[in-house]
Amino acid sequence: GMGSDMYRQQILDHYKNPRNYGEIEEPTYTHVGENPMCGDEIRIDVKLADDEETIEHVAFQGDGCAISQASASMLSSKLPGESVDDLMEMDRDDIVDMLGVDISPMRIKCAVLAEKVAQDGYEIYQGEKDLDRTSTED
Ligand code: FES
Ligand code: FES
């Protein structure tokens, strides 16, 4: 229908003109992850505000199909201003809603790649902060 045509156009537009493609100077964290189905890799840089909660800026680089690249582009546009808790609570349904089209089970890993990389990176960053705390307390 008309609705999904519009979303398809939007996906193509984000694919052809990716937003926030590149890197952030001095990101709070950066992480690379791959889609195990195809081996395509995406790197996500995230800059948090000084409160360590508000997402200020997200950038991405990497390869992949239109769905993965559009998803990364849309996510990087949507996240600034949101909290990192919002990011960590996102699931595949939120990503499918964001994309606005049906995603086949074969393509779901493409759709959620950027989200996963952003979430995994934050977990690793948090783990490193905890380690720092432990080692300075020792
Ligand atoms: Fe090294 Fe993510 S790639 S922490
Ligand atoms: Fe590799 Fe979609 S086919 S990310």
Q: What is the ipTM of this complex?
A: 0.81
By alpha-carbon position, which residue is closest to atom 3 of ligand 1? 31
Ligand 1: which atom is nearest the Cα of residue 32?
A: 3
Ligand 2: which atom is nearest the Cα of residue 42?
A: 4
pLDDT tens digit sequence for 13-50: 999 999 999 999 999 999 999 999 999 999 999 999 99
Asked whether 116 lines ligand 1 (CB < 6 A), one says no
The class level of CATH for 2-130 reads alpha beta
Domain boundaries, the chain: 2-130
Per-position DSSP letters for 74-122, written without gaps between them: HHHHHSTTSBHHHHHH--HHHHHHHHTS---GGGHHHHHHHHHHHHHHH
Instruction: Find residue 59's DSSP bridge partners.
Output: 45
Q: pTM surpassing 0.95?
A: no
By alpha-carbon position, which residue is closest to atom 4 of ligand 1? 31
